[in-house]
Amino acid sequence: MKHEVDLKNFSLHTDLLIDEVENIEEDIITKENRKINNVEIDVIKVKEDNLVKRKGTYTTISFEDITDFKNFNIVEKIFIDELNKIINEQNLNKDYKVLVIGLGNRNSTPDSLGVKVCDNILVTRHIDRLDNLGEDYHSVAAFTPNVMGNTGLDAQDIIKGILTETKFDLLIIVDALASSKIERVNKTIQLTDTGIYPGSGVGNHRKEISKNTMEIPVIAIGVPTVVDAVTIVSDTINLLIKKIEYLKNNNPKEKLKAKDKINYLKEERVNISNEEKNHLLGLIGELNDQELKSFISEILTPIGYNMMVTPKEIDFIIEKLSLLISKGINKSIHNLKDKI
């Protein structure tokens, strides 16, 4: 009986700014892009609240397969650096106290990221109260409010309740997200100091977890772990254009490479005309991105085929991602050096 309820209440919360940034007027953002060993870092600062996103810093780290040992180590280092930067921007006291919140559902693999991060947070608050922790450690607590389908309670109410009973200076929230691009699934970490705004934010003020509602700085760490079928199809149609553009480019050196090993996204391409698109894809080729997604949604949704999906290796990936984020948080907050 319980699981029927669970299925209805399965919720993935926030979104990636990086995929919406083109919808924000240029003059209210600053952008910065770097690359370290194939890992891309985008830092976007939104200078004032707008229709798409709140004012604040959004850092996006984009990487390849995280179950690869080398990738893991590079991304971990970058994650620590970027988290440190955002923490430093919050102007906290030297001995700030942190509450780490892991949103999501332990019993649903793609939604369990936050819970599993909390399993490995180095918790010190209870020791701090007895003893002096020493200069290398901050006071840290970690908590998983679970999902409403399991508890009947809003995560937001529980967090707010804890903050009324105990004093903290910084909230770090970890959550699984829904992705709006295939390529980002399990391959992107977003850090932001704007907090979490569930749903489309339509007047749903009390569910917001942010400095506004919690009265202390809130840093949200999110990884997209699911994507919907509409996105898979629309991304594929866009990729089809790019593939054709690549094939039209006469690069004899490339032609020598094994045909299906080439990542055509990274190769030179020549643009194809609208006529060519129409020839190739008919009316479909004439739709813009938003129209294409709406159209595909109209096909899949009424018959129940617009599933949210996750890669079949999700168990192994969540294990690595949660380890990376928990180690990163521990090393950012405490001065662990060679201790772990």
Q: Segment 60-119, which members bind a second copy (CB under 8 A)?
A: 67-69, 107-111
Choices 29-37, 40-48, 79-87, 256-264; region in contact with a second copy by CB under 8 A: 256-264
Binding of residue 325 to a second copy (CB under 8 A): no
* 3-state class (DSSP) for residue 118: helix
Identify the helix (H) or strand (E) that includes residue 327. Answer: helix 314-333
Residue of 179, 192, 235, 331 interacting with a second copy (CB under 8 A): 235
Find the distance separating the first CA and the last CA of the chain, reported in whole Å.
Answer: 43
User: Can you tell me the distance from the alpha carbon of 322 to that of 176, in angstroms, rounded to the nearest whole number?
Assistant: 10
Residue of 52, 232, 272, 287 interacting with a second copy (CB under 8 A): 232
Binding of residue 204 to a second copy (CB under 8 A): no
Binding of residue 198 to a second copy (CB under 8 A): no
User: Can you tell me the distance from the alpha carbon of 338 to that of 340, in angstroms, rounded to the nearest whole number?
Assistant: 6
Pick out residues in 294-323 that bind a second copy (CB under 8 A): 296, 298-303, 305, 307-316, 319-320
Alpha helices in 10-137, H assignment, sequence order: 69-88, 113-119, 125-128
Choices 21-29, 86-94, 230-238, 248-256; region in contact with a second copy by CB under 8 A: 230-238
Binding of residue 137 to a second copy (CB under 8 A): no
Q: How far is CA 16 from CA 52, 216, 225, 249, 252, in A?
A: 11, 22, 12, 33, 38
Nearest residue (CB) to a second copy, 57 versus 326 = 326
- Among candidate residues 147, 149, 123, the one with its CA nearest the CA of residue 137: 123
Nearest residue (CB) to a second copy, 135 versus 260 = 260
Binding of residue 203 to a second copy (CB under 8 A): no
Which residues face 99 on adjacent strands? 141, 171
Nearest residue (CB) to a second copy, 29 versus 262 = 262
Binding of residue 213 to a second copy (CB under 8 A): no
Q: How far is the CB of 300 from a second copy (least distance, A)?
A: 6
Residue of 22, 94, 152, 288 interacting with a second copy (CB under 8 A): 152
With CB under 8 A as the rule, give the number of residues binding a second copy. 95
Contacts of residue 304, defined as CB under 8 A and 6 or more positions apart, other chains included, come to: none
Residue of 29, 36, 52, 239 interacting with a second copy (CB under 8 A): 239
Choices 46-54, 75-83, 212-220, 275-283; region in contact with a second copy by CB under 8 A: 275-283
The amino acid at residue 176 is A
Binding of residue 28 to a second copy (CB under 8 A): no
Residue of 43, 78, 83, 142 interacting with a second copy (CB under 8 A): 142
How would you label 314-339 residue by residue, b for 16+ Cβ within 10 Å and e otherwise? beebbebbbbbbbbbbbbbbbeeeee
Residue of 55, 205, 255, 279 interacting with a second copy (CB under 8 A): 279
* 3-state class (DSSP) for residue 58: strand
* Phi, psi dihedral angles at 186 (to 5 degrees): 60, 15
Q: How far is the CB of 79 from a second copy (least distance, A)?
A: 19
Residue of 141, 292, 324, 325 interacting with a second copy (CB under 8 A): 141
DSSP letter for each residue of 133-160: --TT--EEEEE----HHHHSS-HHHHHH
Pairing state of beta strands 56-62 and 97-102?
A: unpaired
Binding of residue 148 to a second copy (CB under 8 A): yes
Binding of residue 30 to a second copy (CB under 8 A): no
Nearest residue (CB) to a second copy, 15 versus 111 = 111
